[in-house]
Amino acid sequence: MVEQELYGYLKLHFPEENEHCEWKAFGNLRYAVSGSAGDDVISYVSAISNMEGGDLVIGVEDKSLRIIGIQNLHDYTPENFPFRIIGNCSHLPSEGLRVELFITTDTNKTVWVLHIPKHLPRQPVIAHRKAWQRSGDSLLELTQSRREAILMEPLHTVDDWSAGICPMVTISQLDEMAITKAKFNYKVKNPRITEEVDGWDTVTFLAKSRLMVNGKITRAAVLLLGKPEATAQLNPVQPQISWVLYSKEKIEKDYQHFYPPYINAVDEVFAKIRNLKYRYLKEGTLFPDEVDQYDQQNIKEALSNCIAHKDYNLGSRVSVAENEDGYISFSNPGSFLPGSIQEVIESEEPPSFYRNTLLVTTMESFNMIDSIGSGIKRMFRVQRERFFPPMPDYDFSGNKVKVTLTGKVLDMDYARVLARNPELSLNQIILLDNVQKRKPLLEPELKLLRAKGLIEGKKPNIIISAKVAQTTGQKAVYTRNKAFSKQQYFDWIMQGMQDHGSLSRKDIEKLVWTKLSDLYDEKQKKTKITNLIAELRRNEKIENVGSDAAPKWVLKEQKGDT
- pTM of structure: 0.57
pLDDT, the chain, mean: 84
Is the omega angle on the peptide bond into residue 236 within 30 degrees of 0, that is, cis?
yes
CB 293 within 8 A of CB 276: yes
Interval 430-441: pLDDT, tens: 787 777 777 777
Measured from the Cβ of residue 129, the count of other Cβ atoms closer than 10 Å reads 7
Interval 284-304: pLDDT, tens: 444 556 778 888 889 999 999
More confident position, 500 or 390: 500
More confident position, 421 or 327: 327
Interval 209-261: pLDDT, tens: 999 999 999 999 999 999 999 999 998 888 999 999 999 998 999 999 999 99
- pLDDT reading at 349 higher than 70: no
Average pLDDT, integer, range 339-359: 72
b (16+ CB within 10 A) / e for 21-45: bbbbbbeebeebbebeeeebbbbbb
- pLDDT reading at 134 higher than 80: yes
Average pLDDT, integer, range 77-99: 85
CB 311 within 8 A of CB 329: no
- pLDDT reading at 559 higher than 50: no
Confidence of residue 87 (pLDDT cuts 50, 70, 90): confident
- pLDDT reading at 413 higher than 80: no
Q: E strands, 315-456, where?
A: 318-323, 327-333, 393-395, 400-406, 455-456
- pLDDT reading at 98 higher than 80: yes
Total residues found in the chain within this entry: 562
pLDDT of residue 476: 63
pLDDT of residue 417: 47
pLDDT of residue 441: 78
Domains of the chain (ranges, CATH numbers): 3-151 (3.30.950), 434-480 (no CATH), 486-561 (1.10.10.10)
Whole-angstrom distance, CA of residue 95 vs CA of residue 81: 14
pLDDT above 90 as % of the chain:
43
Interval 247-270: pLDDT, tens: 999 899 999 999 999 999 999 999
- pLDDT reading at 481 higher than 70: no
Of the candidate ranges 88-97, 225-234, 496-505, the one whose mean pLDDT is the lowest: 88-97
Confidence of residue 154 (pLDDT cuts 50, 70, 90): low
Confidence of residue 133 (pLDDT cuts 50, 70, 90): very high
